[in-house]
A and B are shown apart, each in its own frame.
Chain A
């Protein structure tokens, strides 16, 4: 096989998994870079920075960032993080690599489709990046791209021309890639399990990829529709989202009969399930890592499976909580509120089960375990504020303030990132045959753990004071002046936290050759990816410390304990 067929246009699930992971890795560093640049601007709005001018000559001339540059960085940061990092690595990256290994299959069900879905995703990413290089620059309508701002072209602002079009095309391509992936995941898990691997013997990781794939199938199918309609409004003169009488920048538009709220429905019908596509695979990994390093079975395996399915299902009927102040009929808010708070229950169940899993265990606090435990802590801190945001009256203060930015970063942003780190440390020996450095890992973990709390908890305080989000500048309002110290603190913490991520990057590549050698089953784990050509499965996935057995773990493919 030529190099090209083997590593570039490969149909091997392992190579594709790594390709997805590397794409996400590149994307996350771009996303982080944008975030610290944004933070820098918020705290030092007047600073002249050569680098900015060099990167964006049109929108940062003289080195001072314009509001449109801030907003385009914000849009790209959010879009890159949500789609190309958090949907790409946990689901497509780890899922592709480990589903076949964990269910004892040779490869994914449709290897060519698999390759196609990766390349579609990569093209989507390139199209997105291209938005920076066109006339007007990248779009500034946020990762949610609400019309009319996103639908009327460059009269609404720089970046709303070709830049926004590229954004929409990129997202539509991404949807297509994800749909192909979802079909592949579902088929593989249903059809290609090795003998004895009944559904209720699947590791929770496999369950989580399965649930996330089901959610993807229904959610991306709706987003792609929203994207196409938006594109038609932009390019073909239709009026799906544009009402009559729009007067933009002194120009009267000919559109008639559309509804801006329709887009919000389509977007959030996708958007809320999307946060579960992001976090559910993380839940699977964390459950497994906690179990392995507590030397105990996952507490309440069946409850965990049921909880994941309830989250997946309920996730499709709560989208209205993003629209409490958008002009919906206020009666509908009551239904959405009850459903939203009800979905807190399966999330709480999972948290209790995680704590019960480590309770009474024999904890091995290596770096993978630290990230998993950190995940639980963040999931609680970020989840609990959902109680406020799920109530329409309280949300009518917090909506679109930094309180929301703090909330979603903790629960979906960094919690999911922590799960990715846990998974990386846990599976690195499987992929490379070596361990990642534990020393670097510890430093990286502790600084990041304190760092993310230091960044995102203060954002809640800013939100309590009413600080609106998506502001390029806080100088216009009297009440925001009082928050300067708080924002400086956030900015400095963000720089520190971002800097230690370079340690991880170094470790990740350095240890491929130089890491400590790992054996075939370095963590003494039970699932099939650590087994040697498993022919059949004889037991559940988490048999740790079973009374009466010789070792403290029994692999799924072992016949006798």
Chain B
């Protein structure tokens, strides 16, 4: 009798964690993240019911079928068909439903007026680049990359467009404005992850990968590298600073005058 009780126990305790939510997602800071949460909750409701029912069925049959002769049966094709088709339907509809969220995240181009920001990762730091007044990223050269002299992107100042580019070690964005990050890495793989946005994307050397989002709620949120990049992986941290449009403009001006 001990095993059914143990199964019951772990099932209830596991489920309790998902109901009490002592450890959970941080509050969402945009529409996408709220949508993600409600879609996650839908998945949780369905899988939660299945999880509890199957564990209970297991526990119950262990408790029940003991000291009585076994009932001989080799199977039942009708039952096999029923559970094959019904699980296939559930799984494929989950995949289909999930695609709506995915296309909102990955398959929708940025609206015009989006703010484009360059991102580069390196062992073990983040760098962000803004176009400056001309709205264009200037030329860069790997050979010019030099953190000590404050040129983490290798901006080539012989190009006019480079002269006003602004770099920062934190990601400042104006609230409510669509953002498009253009991400790459100079050395190994890294990953841009902000919990409050519910999105994650690898940075791959040799590729420029776009990442689109909008952050509506002002505040400071942690950026955590989420792809193993070496011994300092656990400290490759930066911040997403969401501010009002005016604050953002004045931050940019301050940065520009530093240059």
- The answer, among B25, B92, B205, for a CB contact under 8 Å with A148, is B205
Interface residues of A in 428-475 (CB under 8 A from B): 446, 449-450, 453, 457-458, 460-462, 464-466, 468, 470-474
**Which residues of B are found within 8 Å of A4, using beta-carbon distances?**
none
Stretch touching chain A among B111-119, B127-135, B192-200, B242-250: B192-200
Given A359-B65, A362-B67: A479 and B195 interface contact (C-beta under 8 Å)? yes
User: Contacting A149 at CB < 8 Å: which of B199, B226, B229?
Assistant: B229
Complexed CA–CA distance, A252 and B232 (Å): 20
Q: How far is the CB of A355 from chain B (nearest CB, A)?
A: 6
Distance, CA A465 to CA B224, complexed state (A)? 12
Q: How many interface residues does chain B have, given as a range?
A: 35 or more
Report the bound CA distance from A393 to B101 in whole Å: 6
Enumerate chain B residues within 8 angstroms of A345, measured Cβ to Cβ.
Answer: 84, 87-88, 91
A301 to chain B: closest CB distance in Å? Answer: 7
**Chain B residues with CB under 8 A of A258:** 206
- B69, B188, B232, B233: residue with the most chain A Cβ atoms closer than 10 Å: B188
Scoring B residues 43 to 76 as 1 if CB is less than 8 Å from chain A, else 0, what string do you get? 1000100110011011001100111111111111
Convert B177-213 into 0s and 1s, putting 1 for each residue whose CB lies closer than 8 angstroms to a CB of A: 0000000001111010101001111101111010000
CB distance from A489 to the nearest CB of B (A): 11
Beyond A245-B205, A388-B43, whether A396 also contacts B189 by CB under 8 A is no
Contact at B70–A362, with CB atoms within 8 Å?
Answer: yes
Residues B94 and A461 in contact, CB atoms below 8 Å apart: no
Decide if B231 touches A66 in the complex (CB within 8 Å). Answer: yes
Please state if B72 and A394 are interface contacts (CB–CB under 8 Å). Answer: no
- Separation in Å of the A365 CB from the closest CB of chain B? 7
A446-B122 Cα distance, complex, nearest whole Å: 47
Contact B73 A362 (CB under 8 A): no
Q: In this assembly, does A376 line the interface, its C-beta being within 8 Å of a C-beta of chain B?
A: yes
Q: How far is the CA of A461 from the CA of B58 in the complex (A)?
A: 24
Query: B73 — which chain A residues lie within 8 A by C-beta?
Result: 296-297, 299, 360
The CB with the most chain B CB atoms within 10 A, among A146, A345, A373, A474, is that of A345
Closest residue of chain B to A146 (Cβ to Cβ) is B189
- Kindly list chain A residues whose C-beta atoms are within 8 Å of the C-beta of B254: none
Quote the shortest CB–CB distance from A22 to chain B (angstroms).
Answer: 30
Chain A's closest residue to B189 (CB) is A146
Q: Does A361 reach chain B (CB closer than 8 Å)?
A: yes
Q: Which residues of B contact A157 (CB under 8 A)?
A: 123, 230-231
Given contacts A252-B142, A377-B58, contact A397 B198 (CB under 8 A): yes
Instruction: Give A69's nearest chain B residue, CB to CB.
Output: B231
Residues in A neighbouring B43, C-beta threshold 8 A: 387-388, 391, 394
Residues of A in contact with B, size category: 35 or more
Cβ contact within 8 Å between A457 and B55: no
Q: CB-nearest residue of chain B relative to A483?
A: B23
What distance in Å separates the Cβ of B165 from its nearest Cβ neighbour in chain A?
18
Q: Which of B36, B51, B67, B234 contacts A393 (CB 8 A)?
A: B36
Given A362-B70, A388-B43, A399-B200: A330 in contact with B106 (beta carbons within 8 A): yes
Docked CA distance A311–B193 (Å): 32
Tell me the nearest residue of chain A to B97, going by C-beta.
A391
Over the window 537-561 of chain A, the binary record of Cβ atoms lying under 8 Å from chain B Cβ atoms (1 yes, 0 no) is 0000010111100001000000000
Interface residues, chain A, CB within 8 Å of chain B?
Answer: 66-68, 71, 140-142, 146, 148-149, 152, 156-158, 243-249, 252, 258-261, 294-297, 299-303, 325-327, 330-331, 333-334, 337-338, 340-342, 344-345, 348-349, 351-353, 355-356, 358-363, 365, 370, 373-374, 376-377, 380-381, 384-385, 387-388, 390-394, 396-397, 399-401, 446, 449-450, 453, 457-458, 460-462, 464-466, 468, 470-474, 476-479, 482-483, 486, 542, 544-547, 552
* Seed contacts A358-B62, A471-B233; 17 additional CB < 8 Å A-B pairs: A156-B230, A248-B187, A299-B76, A331-B107, A341-B91, A344-B87, A360-B71, A381-B55, A391-B102, A392-B98, A399-B200, A446-B6, A450-B6, A464-B25, A478-B222, A545-B69, A547-B72
Residue contacts A-B, CB under 8 angstroms, 11 given: A146-B188, A245-B205, A259-B206, A300-B75, A358-B65, A362-B69, A363-B65, A397-B195, A458-B17, A466-B25, A479-B195
B residues lining the A interface (CB < 8 Å): 2-3, 6-7, 9-10, 13-14, 17, 22-26, 36, 39-40, 43, 47, 50-51, 54-55, 57-58, 61-62, 65-76, 79-80, 83-84, 87-88, 91-92, 94-96, 98-99, 101-102, 104-107, 122-123, 142-143, 145, 186-189, 191, 193, 195, 198-202, 204-207, 209, 222, 224-235, 237
**Nearest 10 pairs of A and B residues by beta carbon:** A243-B206, A391-B98, A393-B101, A330-B106, A300-B75, A466-B195, A471-B234, A341-B91, A360-B71, A461-B23
